[in-house]
Structure 1
């Protein structure tokens, strides 16, 4: 069994995520999201979809990017 690095649960169905040269062990997608998903710089939610990368900043949507920086109004849009 493997121990989840977020909650500490020792779970027989734990899984590994290999990312950027590191190996992470989780017992659920919820724990994996809490540890690995970036946080929107405007509304502070976890970005579990595509998100918007604006330079060195991450947002959950084009709306949040525009709210955080109005100069991005013509540069970002949500994917449809």
Structure 2
């Protein structure tokens, strides 16, 4: 059994993640996200999935990027203004 690097739980089904030359041990995806996921430069949430990168900063969504002053940030570049995903 290995010990989680975040919560310290010893768990028989722990897993390792290698990132930037370092190896981390976790007992859950929650702990892995807490330790390794980038943080939105505007709202501070952990970014799980695709975010928006602008320069050296990451944002969880286009709304946060625009609120931080990033011009023209959109979540889906092919989306027409005023058209929802369901309407396509």
Same fold (TM > 0.5): yes
Which 4+ stretches in 1 moved above 2 angstroms?
Answer: none
Q: Indicate the structure whose relative CO is greater, using CA pairs within 8 Å and at least 6 residues apart.
A: 1
**Which residue of structure 2 lines up, in the alignment, with residue 73 of structure 1?**
71
**Which residue of structure 1 lines up, in the alignment, with residue 82 of structure 2?**
none
Count residues in correspondence: 77
Taking structure 1 as the reference length, the TM-score comes to 0.90
Structure 1 residue runs of 5 or longer lacking an equivalent are: none
Match of 1:66, SS?
A: helix
* Larger Rg over CA atoms: 2
Taking structure 2 as the reference length, the TM-score comes to 0.83
Match of 2:25, SS?
A: strand
Q: CA deviation at 1:77?
A: 1.3
Q: Report the aligned-residue RMSD.
A: 1.1
**Structure having the larger proportion of residues in helix:** 1
Q: CA deviation at 1:49?
A: 1.4
**Which residue of structure 2 lines up, in the alignment, with residue 41 of structure 1?**
41
